[in-house]
Amino acid sequence: MHIAEGMLPAPHALGWTLAAAPFVVHGARQVVKEVREHPESTLLLGAAGAFTFVLSAIKLPSVTGSSSHPTGTGLGAVLFRPPVMALLGTVVLLFQALLLAHGGLTTLGANAFSMAVVGPWAGYAAYRLTRRLGGGLLPAVFAAMAVSDLATYGTTALQLAWAHPDAESGFVGAAVKFLGVFAVTQVPLAIGEGFLGVLLFRVLTVNARPELERLGVLTPEPVPDAEPQR
Amino acid sequence: MRRHLITAVLVLAVVALFAAPLLIDPGSEFAGTDSQATELIEESDPGYEPWFSSVFSPGSAEVESGLFALQAALGGAVLGYVLGRLRGRRGAERTTAPSSAPPPAEP
């Protein structure tokens, strides 16, 4: 989903930067607030950032014969709500733009908007919806991870189609073309990302129960948890 | 036991999901979708000139993959550290306080 450096016309680059900036600033303030009020959250915040860092570094092969990388932003969105991921996701994108020539500074706004804003919010919405419909924590986490991944790439396709509409078929034609590149490749990756999120949450529900209860992800149990047999 | 089984199945599913494409289509280059999108722009919008280039580009594929590995290693190290801390904390709680009383709330 990294739009390469210079591949968006200047007005688009500026527009997306202005669109993403308030989310990132708000996210930064949320991170500071969270750490100040709940220093014990720092560990899990680190985990959320690290998860995105790892996953977005790994390009995985897909059945379409091309490769792509997951985003990993659903985890932090579920744990700390989406604004926090606006900052963490943008930090990852900045690292890749500066050191890896992957993405870019002029396209940072557009990439941050898709990966750090739309992805986490869509994932969080999927999480809440699954829980509302009576789904358990792990199915909801799976939905959050997969949907945030797909929504990120869908957004990128639409951003590119808007900036580079097809000569004949216009925006819609270009959107279909860019979605053709991104969307199908991304489906197995989104499923894999969902499984990874479930694996991680299974560890967290055992080892970070107090934090998850405070964050509202798990409901506190009325009776103190009996020692589970191993 | 059942817990471990589910974990194993999930891990296997992830491995299978990403190993399958390599087995199905071993001749493919698995080009990145990001670069495919860039090529698509060059094709469909040939008049477009990128107006800014990266401030720093890794000199070779080796340097680039090294930096990607560095990114993954940093993330993996932090994630492993956090999970280790959490697990160690839970172990300590179990041995010192069998009633597992929650820490006192800040006033």
Q: Which residues pair with A60 in a beta bridge?
A: A68
Split at pLDDT 50, 70, 90, the class of B107 is: low
B91 in a structural domain: yes
Closest alpha carbon within chain B to A197: B10
Establish if B20 belongs to a structural domain.
no
Q: How confident is the model at residue B56 (pLDDT cuts 50, 70, 90)?
A: confident
The 3-state DSSP composition of chain B as helix, strand, coil percent (nearest 5) reads: 65, 0, 30
Does residue B47 or residue A16 have the better pLDDT?
Answer: A16
Three-class secondary structure of residue B99 per DSSP = coil
* C-alpha pair distances (Å), B102 with each of A209, A212, A224, B106: 11, 13, 10, 12
How many folded domains does chain B comprise?
1
Over residues B5-16, mean pLDDT: 94
| Residue of B42, B41, B19 lying closest to B30 (CA atoms) | B19
Residue in A closest to B102 by C-alpha: A210
**Fold for the domain defined by A10-214:** Arp2/3 complex 21 kDa subunit ARPC3 (1.10.1760)
Q: What is the pTM of this model?
A: 0.90
Q: What single-letter amino acid sits at A138?
A: L
Task: List pLDDT tens digits, range A86-128.
Answer: 999 999 999 999 999 899 999 999 999 999 999 999 999 999 9
Residues from chain A that touch B72, judged by Cβ atoms under 8 A, are 53-54, 57-58
How far is the CA of A160 from the CAs of A11, A49, A120, B44, in angstroms? Answer: 13, 27, 20, 11
Whether residue B80 is contained in a domain is answered as: yes
Q: What is the pLDDT of residue B104?
A: 64
B97, pLDDT greater than 80:
no
Q: Of chain B residues 19-58, which have a CB less than 8 A from chain A?
A: 20-22, 24-25, 28-38, 40-41, 44-45, 48, 50-58
Three-state secondary-structure class, residue B47:
coil
Residue B46: inside a domain:
no
Q: Assess if residue B77 is contained within a domain.
A: yes
8 A C-beta contact, residue A3 and residue A111: yes
Residue indicated by tokens 């059942």: B2
pLDDT value of residue B1: 78
Q: What percent of chain B shows pLDDT beyond 90?
A: 43
Domain that holds residue B83: 72-96
Contacts of A224 in chain B (CB under 8 A): 99-100
Are A142 and A41 contacting, i.e. CB atoms less than 8 angstroms apart? no
A175 Cβ under 8 Å from any chain B Cβ: no
A208 secondary structure, DSSP code: -
Q: Is the pLDDT of residue A230 over 60?
A: no
Per-residue pLDDT at B106 exceeds 80:
no
Query: What are the backbone dihedrals phi and psi of residue A45, each rounded to the nearest 5 degrees, phi first?
Result: -60, -45
Q: State which amino acid sits at residue B81.
A: Y
C-alpha closest to that of A102 among A181, A182, A4, A178: A4
Instruction: Report how far residue A4's alpha carbon sits from residue B39's, in angstroms, rounded to the nearest whole number.
Output: 11
Query: What pLDDT is attached to residue B54?
Result: 87
Q: What is the mean pLDDT of residues B79-93?
A: 92
A 97-156 residues with CB below 8 A of B? 97-102, 104-106, 153, 156
| Chain B contacts in chain A segment 32-51 (CB below 8 A) | 43-44, 46-47, 49-51
